[in-house]
């Protein structure tokens, strides 16, 4: 076996044999390198069981830089759909070329992790997935070469790695065998120069990768060298009388020569034959030993039960947070076009995002900061995004929180889901708030520029740009913008349904389903169609500010001039008019009892202070105290005083839904109706009463307006549900307790009876007196 060789210039015709042993210093360096690599059981889309190296912010530089191995690193985001689909291919490639180690090392780095985002930015990662090749002895992130490949199959990836590796121009990696073709002069003196038993020659065409792949496959096997001979080498071709390419010959150091019995371009067959030769054995086996990373591992968050009929402010704010602090912060410098797109995006958020007060203040300040800027560096942008103690009324959450967009696995749904939700919300808010509905939308082109310049999943961005270039210019008004985004989102769902990025617990379907909007789908001539008029009505109700809830969100409010944060696990306030309304009294009895066991009851003074602080921020509306003094036992059983709106909704909900469902079924359509679109999904689901109830509420109707004590009839017109008869249960002002309501009704009834009795008494007395003969008549 040949002795270890020091680092040298790229070998020429008289270079070293196909495989050289590794010196003790090199082995020690590799062993130390492999021992320091992170070893979390699962990081993003990969685990320690995969035959590759899991890198992190604290290990990537000392692993890749000054290494005697070449490195190929995949920078990815665990939420990226293309990354999810590409992960099995990358794992398969790692298993396919694991015998190429230590010449080539494969690694992965999840840029979606918060502690990895800065290092990904330092490496110039602006889209996912990004494959970078680092030559041996690389010194800095800029030494990384973008690995371009013709496809996502492992063959094209192998060939791209080999082609890039051959571009080592200064120092050839000491752990890598020579890949250049053997010359006639080197062939004739090969066994005199190198102490090996076998020499395998693979004759192939110039564009073939077979010889180089087999050479790397046999890297870890001793007593054998593999070299390739090109078809253009006429001397060796005549010497061995080769007429078919590829062809293989096995030479032994005793002078014998035989044909390798493989008659096709098959790398596995060549490799298997050579590994079975007598005396050929695997030498140094490189199996990375993984140790826990210094970074804290991500723990699985408790499951948050979400209602699909609701929008959650946590998802919307998380989308805003991620777009600004992660997506826009990846670039070392925001050039003119990208900065213009960012300004436009923030301006649209300020105009149409119905966020909490502290978030809207934050966005307003950021908009003012951006407007005069013509040049923004990464450091400037990070400083502008920082929550500042001197501005306690303007804050953005530090970490994303997914509720309605929570996936069954951490890498599923999340940011892409919340971004779609945010875009739908902005188009609907623009249609609802803009005074001129006929004017073109400004939200759609803003979204297009954001996706073009900032969205990390580049394959997804290219698909969206293709849809935008195809038909976005045909959108003439704001209602059209709502429908355009809806139809394109369904097209994306149809394309991705059943793929690796599709969450099996939340499959990608044609939206909205019938259980959310029973009137959005109709059947004409046996074909299921979309009714665009109903779609538009549903979207304006579903994505209205009245359907945004503050569940699971951390309430932030200033107190005594400082920013105080209190986590409220019972927060279920419903956003109205930019503020929220606490609806804890609507929680189920079981959930309330569970929460009450784990939470001590605060003092009365603290409760009043908390309520006053939240009211000043517009987060809740204070409930009025009952006019009847309640016992202590009753107070412990009640969560809060129920206002009349909620009381009447609960009391008359079932009856209202029944009448509304009948009205929906009575509504007739004919073939001449406009706004009908053929559905891609032919599935049908039954009518959902809860969905209809939510739709009625979003139109501004309460239960007491829909159903009266006499069973008022309801008719459906083109603009929604209206009441035909009088409404009896409308009370202006604040809410009262149920006991207050009952007493008011009783007192009202008694006073009415009293007045009626008095009226009857005086009426009869007047008739009696008129009937007396001596009573004067006017």
Instruction: Say if residue 340 is in the same domain as residue 210.
Output: no
Are residue 601 and residue 585 in the same domain, yes or no? yes
Please indicate, yes or no, whether residues 616 and 531 belong to a single structural domain of this protein.
Answer: no
Residue 619 clears pLDDT 50, i.e. is over it: no
- pLDDT of 32 strictly over 70: no
The active-site residue, picked from 83, 417, 457, 517, is: 83
Count of structural domains, the chain: 5
Residue 613 has pLDDT above 50, yes or no: no
Q: 664 with 604, same domain?
A: no
19-23, 481-485, 585-589, range with the lowest pLDDT: 585-589
The catalytic residue among 80, 176, 417, 520 is 80
First to last CA, the chain: 142
Which residues, other chains included, contact 141 with Cβ-Cβ below 8 Å and sequence gap of 6+? Answer: 122, 123, 124
* Residue 451 burial class via C-beta count within 10 angstroms: exposed 0-12, middle 13-18, buried 19 and up: buried
- Residue at 336 is within a domain: yes
CA-wise closest residue to 413 among 318, 329, 325? 318
pTM for the predicted model, two decimal places:
0.64
Residue 405 predicted with pLDDT over 70: yes
Active site residue 257: no
Q: What is the mean pLDDT of residues 323-338?
A: 91
Other beta carbons less than 10 A from residue 607's beta carbon: 11
Summarize pLDDT for 418-440 with one digit per residue, the tens: 999 999 999 999 999 987 778 89
In a domain, 267, yes or no: yes
**pLDDT score at 446:** 96
Burial of 380 (0-12, 13-18, 19+ CB in 10 A): middle
262-280 pLDDT per residue, tens: 988 999 999 999 999 999 9
Cβ burial 33-71 (10 Å sphere, 16+ → b, else e): bbebbbbbeebbbbebebbbbbbbbebbeebbeebbbbb
- How far apart, in whole angstroms, are the C-alpha atoms of residue 710 and residue 695? 24
Q: Beta strands 376-377 and 562-566: pairing type?
A: unpaired
**Residue 129 and residue 260 in one domain:** no
DSSP 8-state assignment for residue 581: E
654 and 635: one domain?
no
- Please say if the pLDDT value at position 689 is more than 80: no
Same domain, 712 and 652: yes
Give the largest CA-CA distance in the chain.
157
Q: Is residue 756 part of a domain?
A: no
Structural domain harbouring 371: 311-401+419-491
> CATH number, domain at 325?
1.20.120.1960
CATH number at residue 13: 3.40.30.10
- Where helices occur in 682-735 by DSSP H, the ranges are 689-698, 703-706
> What is the per-residue pLDDT across 424-483, written as a single tens digit (0 to 9) for each?
999 999 999 987 778 899 999 999 999 999 999 988 999 999 999 999 999 999 999 999
Q: What percent of the chain has pLDDT over 70?
A: 67
Strands 46-47 and 548-549: unpaired
The reply to whether 517 belongs to the active site is: no
**pLDDT for position 302:** 82
The total number of residues written for the chain in this structure: 778
Which residue reads 């604040």 in tokens?
Answer: 734
Pair 612, 665 in one domain: no
């Amino acid at each position: 076996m040949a002795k270890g060789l020091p680092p040298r210039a790229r070998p020429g015709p008289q270079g070293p044999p196909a495989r050289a042993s590794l010196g003790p210093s090199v082995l020690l360096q590799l062993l130390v390198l492999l021992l320091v690599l992170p070893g979390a059981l699962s990081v993003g889309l990969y685990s320690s069981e995969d035959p590759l190296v899991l890198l992190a912010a604290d290990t990537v530089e000392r692993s890749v830089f000054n290494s005697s191995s070449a490195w190929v690193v995949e920078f990815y985001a665990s939420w990226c759909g293309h990354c999810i689909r590409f992960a099995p291919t990358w794992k398969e490639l790692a298993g396919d070329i694991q015998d190429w180690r230590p010449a080539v090392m494969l690694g992965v780095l999840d840029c979606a992790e918060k502690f990895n985002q800065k290092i990904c930015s330092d490496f110039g990662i602006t889209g996912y997935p990004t494959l970078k090749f680092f030559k041996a002895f690389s010194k800095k992130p800029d030494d990384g070469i973008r690995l371009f490949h013709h496809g996502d199959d492992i063959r094209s990836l192998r060939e791209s790695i080999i082609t890039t590796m051959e571009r080592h121009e200064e120092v050839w990696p000491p752990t890598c065998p020579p890949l250049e073709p053997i010359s006639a002069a080197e062939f004739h003196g090969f066994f005199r120069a190198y102490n090996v038993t076998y020499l395998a020659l693979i004759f192939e065409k110039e564009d073939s990768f077979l010889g180089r792949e087999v050479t790397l496959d046999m890297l870890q096997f001793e007593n054998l060298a593999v070299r390739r001979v090109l078809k253009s080498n006429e001397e060796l071709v005549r010497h061995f009388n080769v007429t078919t390419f590829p062809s293989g010959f096995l030479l032994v150091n005793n002078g014998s020569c035989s044909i390798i019995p493989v008659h096709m371009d098959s790398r596995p067959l060549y490799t298997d034959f050579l590994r079975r030769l007598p005396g050929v054995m695997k030498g140094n086996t490189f199996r990375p030993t993984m140790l826990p990373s210094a970074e804290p591992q991500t723990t699985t968050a408790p499951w948050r039960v979400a209602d699909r009929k609701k929008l959650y402010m946590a998802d919307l704010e998380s989308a805003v947070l991620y777009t600004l602090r992660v997506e826009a912060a990846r670039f070392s410098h925001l050039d003119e076009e990208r900065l213009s797109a960012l300004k436009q995006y923030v301006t649209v958020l300020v105009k149409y995002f119905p966020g909490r007060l502290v978030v809207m203040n934050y966005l307003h300040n950021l908009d003012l900061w951006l407007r005069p800027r013509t040049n923004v560096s990464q450091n400037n942008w990070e400083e502008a995004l920082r929550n500042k103690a001197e501005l306690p009324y303007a804050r953005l959450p530090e970490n994303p929180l997914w509720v309605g967009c929570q996936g069954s696995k951490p890498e599923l749904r999340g940011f892409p889901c919340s971004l779609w939700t945010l875009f739908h919300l902005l188009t609907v808010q623009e249609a609802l708030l803009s005074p001129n509905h006929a004017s073109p939308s400004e939200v759609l082109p803003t979204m297009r520029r954001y996706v073009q310049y900032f969205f990390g999943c580049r394959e997804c961005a290219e698909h969206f740009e293709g849809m935008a270039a195809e038909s976005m210019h045909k959108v003439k008004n704001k209602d059209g913008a709502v429908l355009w985004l809806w139809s394109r989102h369904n097209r994306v769902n149809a394309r991705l349904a059943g793929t690796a990025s599709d969450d099996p617990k939340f499959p990608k379907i044609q939206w909205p389903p019938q259980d959310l909007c029973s009137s959005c789908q109709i059947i004409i001539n046996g074909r299921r169609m979309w009714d665009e008029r109903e779609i538009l009505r549903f979207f304006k109700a579903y994505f209205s500010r009245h359907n945004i809830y503050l569940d699971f969100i951390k309430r932030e409010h200033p107190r005594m001039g400082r920013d105080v944060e209190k986590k409220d696990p019972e927060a279920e306030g419903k956003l109205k008019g930019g503020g929220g309304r606490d609806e804890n009294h609507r929680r189920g009895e079981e959930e309330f009892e569970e929460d009450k066991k784990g939470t001590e009851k605060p003092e009365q003074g603290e409760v009043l202070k908390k309520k006053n602080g939240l009211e000043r921020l517009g987060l809740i509306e204070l409930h009025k105290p009952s006019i009847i003094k309640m016992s202590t036992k009753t107070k412990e059983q009640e969560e809060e005083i129920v206002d009349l709106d909620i009381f009447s909704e609960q009391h008359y909900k079932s009856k209202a839904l029944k009448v509304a469902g009948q009205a929906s079924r009575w509504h007739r359509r004919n073939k001449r109706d406009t706004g009908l679109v053929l559905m891609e999904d032919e599935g049908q689901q039954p009518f959902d009463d809860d969905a209809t109830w939510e739709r009625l509420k979003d139109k501004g109707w309460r239960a007491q307006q829909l159903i009266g004590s006499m069973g008022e009839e309801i008719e459906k017109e083109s603009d929604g549900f209206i009441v035909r008869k009088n409404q009896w249960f409308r009370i202006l002002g604040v809410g009262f307790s149920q006991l207050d309501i009952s007493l008011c009704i009783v007192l009202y009834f008694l006073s009415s009876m009293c007045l009626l009795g008095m009226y009857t008494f005086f009426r009869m007395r007047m008739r009696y007196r008129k009937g007396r003969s001596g009573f004067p008549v006017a």
